Amino acid sequence: MSRLPSSVSTTNSLDGIMAKVRHDFPALQQSVHGKPLVYLDNAASTQKPQSVIDTISHYYAFDYANVHRGIHYLSERATRAYEDAREKVRNFIGASTSREVIFVRGTTEAINLVAQSYGRMHLTEGDEIVITEMEHHSNIVPWQLLCEQIKATLKVIPVNDTGELILEAYERLLGPRTRLVALTHVSNALGTINPVKQIIAMAHAHDARVLLDGAQAAAHIPIDVQDLNCDFYAFSGHKLYGPTGIGALYGKAELLEAMPPYQGGGEMIREVTFEKTTYADIPQKFEAGTPHIVGAIGLGTAVDYLSSIGLMNIGQHEQELLSYATETIGDLPGLRIIGTSPHKTGILSFDLRGIHPHDISTVLDHEGVAVRAGHHCAMPLMGRFGVSATTRASLSVYNNRSDIDTLKGALDKARAFFSL
C-alpha cells in the first residue's frame, strides 16, 4: 500500500514539489515547546512520510505472516512483498541482481558482516586495512576488532582543513599488503562527498577490495554500485525515510557466494544434520532467523517515495538550501563552520565560540529547532579539528528557507542568552 507524494502529480516546479512534499510528513505538522517544529537532525534519522507509515500499518493489519516458510496465502503475500522490496533496493542502488542485496539491521551490521565474514576469510597477520580520518565509529571499531583478531594493521587517510581526504597520502598508504579499503561515501559530521570512484579505482589497482559506508549518501545522491565498481555498499533505512532496524548490504555476487555465513540459524540453511550443515544460496545465506519483514517492506516504500520525487531533484533542492544556510549563519560572530568542502551534502557542523554545543542545542530546542550536538560518533575527526563536539544542522527533502531563518533566529537568541 503506497501513496506517492501529492506534489509529483500537481506541479513540475521544484520549489512547488518540495513545498508540497512537506505535507506528506505528519511529524512536521506538530509544535514543540509551543513553536512549530523545525527538524534539522536528518543526518541522525529522517521523519517518515505517510506512505511508509501506511505501508507498515497495512502489513500488520492485513498481511502479517512469516516469509518463505509458509504455503498459505498470507505467507505467500508477505513473501512477495518482502522480495519485491529487495528488488526495489536492487534497482535503487543499481545492483545487477537482487541476490546481491542482503537485508541487515543497518549500516553497522552490514560492516560487521563484511569484517567478520570476508575479513576473517581473506585477511591474515600483517595485512593492511585502510580507512579514513572522517569515519563514523561504525566504520572504525569493526576493523579494529578484526585487526586484533588476526593481527592486521589499520591505516588512516588524513583529512585537510576543509574536510577533504588527502589523496596523495592515500596513494602512499596503498601497498602490497593492502587488502581492504573501507570509507564513507559522505561524511556524517562534515557532509563531504568523497571522490569514491577514484578511490575505488586506486584500491583495485593494488588488488584491494572496497567497502563504502553509504548511510549518509543514499537519501541525497544517486547511487550506482556497478558504475562505482565498489565491492560492498552499506546503508540504513531510517536515514532515507524508512523504518529503523533495517538496512541493506550490497556485495558482488562472486564475493558473497564465497563468504562464510555471518550468523547461524533458521532460514539460512539448505540441510541440517548433527554431522554437517549446508547453507542456502545468497542472499538467504546471510539472513538467519525471522527477518525484519515489515522493515524491509517499509524500506521498499521509502525507496518508492524517493524515486517518485527523484534524487536529482532532491539533491538540487538540498544544495540550494545548503548555500542559503551557509550564507545565513556563516557570518554570525564567533561561528566557525567545520567542513567547508565545495563538494558536500546538506550538513552544517559548526562551533560557536563560548557556547557548548549541548547548550546551543537546548536553546534551539526551546525555539522548536531540532539539531544534533556532540561528537556525532566521529571522535577522531573532532580531535582533528580541535573540538570535542559540534552543533550539526542537517537538511532533507522537506526543509525550506523558513527553517533556516528560524535556525538563524534561534542562534541569535542563544548568543544573546550567553551574552556573546
Active-site amino acid positions = 377
C-alpha 366/C-alpha 363 separation (Å) is 5
Number of H helices, E strands in the chain: 16, 17
Burial track 200-218 (b if 16+ CB lie within 10 A, e otherwise): bebbeebebbbbbbbbbbb
C-alpha 35/C-alpha 32 separation (Å) is 5
C-alpha 5/C-alpha 25 separation (Å) is 10
Q: Which three cell numbers stand for residue 375?
A: 561528537
Q: In 3-state terms, what secondary structure has residue 282?
A: coil
Could you identify the residue written with the cell 512549530? Answer: 36
According to DSSP H, which parts of 151-249 are helical?
167-173, 196-204, 225-228
CB 59 within 8 A of CB 297: yes
Q: In 3-state terms, what secondary structure has residue 209?
A: strand
Start-to-end CA distance of the chain, whole Å, equals 52
